[in-house]
Amino acid sequence: MNNSQSIQIAPSILSANFAKLAEEIYKVEEGGADLLHVDVMDGHFVPNITIGAPVVKSLKKVTRIPLDVHLMIEKPENFIEDFQQAGTQILTVHQEVSHHLHRIIQAIKERGMKAGVAINPSTPINVLDCILPEVDQVVVMSVNPGFGGQKFIPYAISKIKALRNLITQSGLKTNILVDGGIKPDNCLSVVKAGADIIVLGSGIFHTPDPMETVKKIRNTLELKM
Ligand code: DX5
Ligand code: ZN
């Protein structure tokens, strides 16, 4: 099981004010955010469109914390170089749209980035059996990808626990990132189930004081773990 010190908090800028992105990022940096989660959507794999590599490149110039880019796009293999050039540290692709997942993971790592694989709520963890030793992080989706502000799907807790057991039993160091529907009041249960990294979008940026919210989440994890 993790300890509270190593749990990483990754605000998702999807719920930030896009007209004031740099200011929004400074707030969560001040609060002690560990990673910046960037949701890239193509309107095909998911029913929404967000941002691409040029915005990531601009964000890179205004932040000192690592960029964790979550690609919710078809043919992610076509964009690996663009996101690496933009300054991405961790690049995650979805298992459901990666026909040659092993090849994609290798390509991400060859470009010096950490590689992640995301699975939708309806995708079982056993699809990861063969690839797990190759990936740096698994993104367990606790909402159907496409939008911020959705409700946490409770079944995700059992998937996180099963994945944590699998990683431990296999002697691996793969991180578990959980994404979707996490708020300050349910983050502890997600971490106790086995998450190493928690993503919060609306749970941080739709609060009156995002900086204080990040601090509050950190306190919750430190006091209650
Ligand atoms: C959903 C995205 C999430 C989203 C989370 O498709 O991958 O990262 O921003 O937003 P909240 O925390 O509001 O559910
Ligand atoms: Zn995401």
Ligand 1 lined by 159 (C-beta under 6 Å):
no
Dist. CA 93–CA 115, nearest whole Å: 8
Which residue range is the domain that position 40 belongs to? Answer: 4-224
Number of neighbours of residue 79 by Cβ within 10 angstroms: 19
CA 20 to chain CA mean position, Å: 22
Closest ligand 1 atom number to CA of residue 142: 14
Under 8 Å between Cβ of 201 and 14: yes
Overall number of domains in the chain: 1
Number of neighbours of residue 109 by Cβ within 10 angstroms: 15
pLDDT at residue 53 in the model: 98
Give this prediction's pTM: 0.97
CATH number of residue 19's parent domain: 3.20.20.70
Dist. CA 54–CA 57, nearest whole Å: 5
pLDDT at residue 1 in the model: 45
Closest listed ligand to the CA of 143: 1
Sheet of 114-119: strand order equals: 8-11, 197-200, 175-179, 137-141, 114-119, 90-94, 67-72, 36-41
pLDDT at residue 224 in the model: 74
With H, G, I as helix, E, B as strand and everything else as coil, classify residue 157: helix
Mean pLDDT by 10 residues, the chain (225 residues): 72 98 98 98 98 98 98 98 98 98 98 98 97 98 98 98 98 98 97 98 98 97 82
Ligand 1 lined by 143 (C-beta under 6 Å):
yes
Dist. CA 116–CA 82, nearest whole Å: 16
pLDDT at residue 72 in the model: 99
Under 8 Å between Cβ of 160 and 194: yes
